[in-house]
């Protein structure tokens, strides 16, 4: 949610639409349940926008506005939030289970 709040402070972008869909998917999973295959697919969808030229890694958050200053005070460095989104998506993945 903090990432979407930040993106809403900027002009509308593909990134906002993408991460709002991710929030909707999360809400759907929490309300209706999920299986590991769905979590794996969701993880890939979230992480797919990171990496490469023109990716979300190139996004520059809005700065020096009243609204963005309030966001920074509430959440801190946007890079920490962005990194957390990626790490949490990665943590959803289970490739295989070892039955030892």
In a domain, 99, yes or no: no
Q: Report d(CA 75, CA 69) in Å as an integer.
A: 10
Report which of 58, 77, 55 is spatially closest to residue 6, judged by C-alpha positions: 77
State the residue range of the domain holding 56: 2-91
Decide if pLDDT at 99 tops 90: no
Overall number of domains in the chain = 1
| The residue to which tokens 């490469």 are assigned | 52
Q: How confident is the model over 12-41, as pLDDT tens digits?
A: 889 999 999 999 999 999 999 999 999 999
**CB neighbour list of residue 79: distance below 8 Å, 6 or more residues apart:** none
In a domain, 15, yes or no: yes
Q: What is the reported pLDDT for 88?
A: 95
Q: What is the reported pLDDT for 83?
A: 95
In a domain, 47, yes or no: yes
**44 — pLDDT class (breaks 50, 70, 90):** very high
């Amino acid at each position: 949610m903090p990432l979407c709040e930040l993106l809403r402070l900027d002009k509308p972008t593909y990134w906002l639409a993408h991460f709002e869909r991710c929030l909707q998917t999360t809400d759907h999973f929490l309300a209706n349940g999920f299986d590991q295959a769905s979590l794996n697919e969701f993880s890939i969808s979230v992480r797919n926008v990171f990496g490469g030229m023109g990716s979300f890694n190139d996004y520059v958050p809005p700065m020096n506005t009243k609204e963005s200053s309030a966001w920074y005070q509430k959440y801190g460095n946007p890079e920490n939030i962005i990194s957390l989104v990626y790490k949490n998506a990665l943590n959803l993945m289970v490739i295989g289970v070892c039955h030892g």
